[in-house]
Amino acid sequence: MGNEIEFERDLDRLLKRNKRYTREAYRFLLNALHYTQRKLEKQGHVTGRELLEGIKELALSVYGPMAKQVLESWGVHKTDDWGDIVFTLIRMGLLGKTPRDKKKDFADVYDFEDVFVKGYRYRVEERKDL
């Protein structure tokens, strides 16, 4: 519980200085990190690509066809934005990284329109055939 309170305080300070992303974006990223760790059965580090896959899966699961709009309402329009959020949290000391982790690991990994709109429609159409 204490860590969550500290995180919220740190986030308050960050959001006063930088309003590019909303509080929900930072919270969702941490939830997606935990989701990804559980899915991959890892206790610690996940790669940028693994995290982005977890973000994609969780966003589609939670927000369905509204995922793209929800993420964009938080200021997140592309995978690079998740990299900005991750590396901001690293600079704040709230996340760790290995020497191999780079911000470019998040650059143009997938297109939000393809994944959250076209990809979602494809999944729904696929289910109708079952």
Contact 33, 40 (CB under 8 A): no
Look up the domain containing 54 and give its range: 2-128
- Look at residues 90, 3, 4 and name the one whose alpha carbon lies nearest to residue 48: 90
pLDDT by residue for the chain (130 residues), tens only, comes to 457 788 888 888 888 888 899 999 999 999 999 999 999 998 889 999 999 999 999 999 999 999 999 999 999 999 999 999 999 999 988 899 999 999 999 999 999 999 999 876 655 555 555 5
Q: Which long-range contacts (CB under 8 A, 24 or more apart) does 1-4 make?
A: none
Look-up: residue for tokens 């994944």? 115
- State the pTM of this model: 0.87
Domain count, the chain: 1
